[in-house]
Chains A and B, each alone.
Chain A
Amino acid sequence: MVERTRGIDLVCHGILILGGLMVCVPIYFAFVVGSHTVSEVLTIPPPWLPGTEFFANVATAWQKGNLGRLFVNSFIVAVGIAGGKIAVSLLSAFAVTYFRFHFRMVAFWAIFVSLMLPVEVRILPTYEAVANVALPLQWLADVAGIEVTLDWNMMNSYGGLILPLIASATATFLFRQFFLTVPEELCEAARIDGCSPLRFFRSILLPLSLSNIAALAIILFLYGWNQYLWPLLFTTDKSMATAVIGLKNLIPQADMEPAWNIAMNAALLVMLPPVVVVVALQRWLVRGLVDSGK
């Protein structure tokens, strides 16, 4: 702080309090509605203060939305995506920074180019690819004139929910940038001591990367938990859906009972795990975000 300026400081506090309110008002009303009965929700004017039915509604939402099962699914998918992305990117980054081989730059660019194909722009063909992973082989067989029917359907499986999302140009790039800052002497010393590449990776590079991995893991967990389009398309079986999809099915549509109390209660439940992660691990999250944006 360079000088004391009470007026401006007060305005700044005012702005930030306003910002906090802006964030909290929608969440507060979700809580209010989530603690009333349906008939109370439908009164005019709508309730402004919390009611008494919060835990009863939690129980109803949990049971009606099959949230127990869906939370397990979401957890598996989020951890799978985070772990998969990190593992795959660490290995690729290690390969392109510490090895000299033909096609090194080709591999790097192939990964980097994938940045420009977000899932959303190629939903239909990717859908086909997951509905039958063996499709490319089938074409090869057709071209070669071999009479076989190859079918490997990954719909409604954890693999189908996780695998197509685990390639990551951003994470690869992040680890590459980090490896480039690791002192050369470490690798030289390791090689003089007769350390194999994989041993060097496991015993030296991996421990050094732990803080980067942790920061990235948080971001990717949130990314995985909050996935929408992908699980929406790939889970026709309701018991394989994720929590976010289950929540969407609880939203009252025109011809349904307007059970907003249950829906908003479920919304709070589904957002709870990522909110806890963000609040508890904020420092790591901010670091990870700012690093990966660079």
Chain B
Amino acid sequence: MSTAGLKRAHYKEGWIPLLLLLPQLLVLLLFFFIPALRALSQSFVITDPFGGNFQFVWFDNFRALLASPEYRSSVGVTVWFTLAQNALTIFIALVFAFATDRVVRGRGLYRTVILLPYAIAPVIAGILWAFLFNPYVGPLAFVLKGMGIAWDPNRSGVDAFLLVTLAASWKHICYDYIFLVAALMAVPPSLLEAAAVDGAGPVLRFFKIALPMIGPTIFFLVAMNFVYGFFETFAIVDAVTHGGPGGATMILVYKVYIDGFVHINLGSSAAQSVLMMIFALALTVVQFRYVERNVNYDV
């Protein structure tokens, strides 16, 4: 029996731990494992929406899915969206964190304000930005119009995509920011001082010392931004664009929802779920590698 992660002083009562684990395992079984298996089994059959008949079709659902232009375009949108959101979020958060690390006066106030979007639900972030850039009533849309830019996220796919990306990044910068500020504070001052004595300025020190040292944190944040972009931005899309216009903001999670609950195409929706689970699995492995590198199991 493995003793990894077990206290040296431990108990051996056989039935107590099982009782302690029961609530969590029961919830997992009912709402995680059985549904996941069900998605897997549904992805191999075609069911008619009114129940009753189903037919086993092997990989037909997957084949149809991968061949469908809508799905391919949705994959493309998702990839571009998460990449843009990821780059924007981490870059801005890094700049803010660097600045916060330098200033002394007002640091607490700056931090509180930049942290605020953490409290705001993604759907509310979406609504705030949808209003700002609403072509009829939005103040910023008005400014754009004044500059001669034809802006209409209801008609132009590019505009809608930009709007969703902006709202999603605005909501998530604070998360990366918290971690980066904490990581920068953990960089040993002795290293920075030694470099300063050798004549390295603040910017050089940031790129040559601080940035490499917070590399693992950035890696972790990139993985977390992917999770956020893929799964948690559902609410923003639902509030701002409903996946439109013409599928320009139809990210994969939104498509699973639309196909499952609006078009009631169960087989296709289940196949999409399975593909996303495989992707989420890959992300978890990446995350776990990060955890492994940063945690000493023999504490």
Interface pair A101/B14, CB less than 8 Å apart:
yes
Contacts of B8 in A (CB 8 A): 184
B150 at the interface (CB under 8 A from A): no
Segment at the A interface, from B27-35, B57-65, B68-76, B79-87: B27-35
Interface pair B131/A260, CB less than 8 Å apart:
yes
Residue count of chain B within 8 Å CB distance of chain A: 113
A120 at the interface (CB under 8 A from B): yes
B44 at the interface (CB under 8 A from A): no
Interface string of A98-132 (1 = CB under 8 A from B): 11111011011011001111101111111111100
Interface pair A290/B179, CB less than 8 Å apart:
yes
Which residues of B in the span 89-145 have a Cβ within 8 Å of any Cβ on A? Answer: 92, 95-96, 98-100, 102-104, 106, 110-125, 127-132, 134, 136-139, 142
| Alpha-carbon separation in the docked complex, A92 to B5 (Å) | 13
Number of A-B residue pairs, CB cutoff 8 Å, is 339
A167 at the interface (CB under 8 A from B): yes
Residue among A19, A23, A184, A279 facing the most chain B CB atoms (10 A cut-off)? A19
**Given known A-B contacts A110-B25, A267-B128, A98 and B11 have beta carbons under 8 A apart:** yes
Which residues of A in the span 251-294 have a Cβ within 8 Å of any Cβ on B? Answer: 251, 258, 260, 263-264, 267, 270-271, 274-275, 277-279, 282, 285-286, 289-290, 293-294
Interface string of B191-232 (1 = CB under 8 A from A): 011001000011100000000000000001000100100011
Interface pair A99/B12, CB less than 8 Å apart:
yes
B269 at the interface (CB under 8 A from A): yes
Contacts of B3 in A (CB 8 A): 100
Smallest CB gap from B296: residue in A: A180
Interface pair A91/B24, CB less than 8 Å apart:
yes
| Alpha-carbon separation in the docked complex, A1 to B120 (Å) | 33
Cross-interface CB contact of B231 among A8, A33, A121, A188, cutoff 8 Å? A121
Smallest CB gap from A43: residue in B: B137
A24 at the interface (CB under 8 A from B): yes
Contacts of A116 in B (CB 8 A): 277, 280-281, 283-284
| Alpha-carbon separation in the docked complex, A95 to B6 (Å) | 10
Contacts of A233 in B (CB 8 A): 261
Cross-interface CB contact of A8 among B42, B102, B239, cutoff 8 Å? B102
Interface pair B31/A222, CB less than 8 Å apart:
no
B55 at the interface (CB under 8 A from A): no
Interface pair B28/A177, CB less than 8 Å apart:
no
Sample of 9 further A-B pairs with CB below 8 A, known A45-B139, A163-B31, A290-B178 = A16-B106, A26-B129, A95-B21, A97-B10, A107-B25, A125-B38, A133-B30, A244-B123, A275-B116
Q: List 22 A-B contacts (CB under 8 A).
A: A15-B96, A48-B139, A89-B24, A92-B24, A92-B25, A96-B21, A99-B12, A99-B17, A122-B35, A124-B273, A128-B38, A129-B31, A167-B27, A167-B28, A167-B31, A248-B123, A263-B127, A264-B127, A275-B116, A278-B118, A290-B179, A290-B182
Interface positions of A (Cβ within 8 A of B): 1-3, 5, 8-9, 11-13, 15-16, 19-20, 22-27, 29-30, 32-33, 41-42, 44-46, 48, 87-89, 91-92, 94-102, 104-105, 107-108, 110-111, 114-118, 120-130, 133, 135-136, 163-164, 166-168, 172-173, 176-177, 179-182, 184-185, 187-188, 191, 197-198, 222, 225-226, 228-229, 232-233, 244, 247-248, 251, 258, 260, 263-264, 267, 270-271, 274-275, 277-279, 282, 285-286, 289-290, 293-294
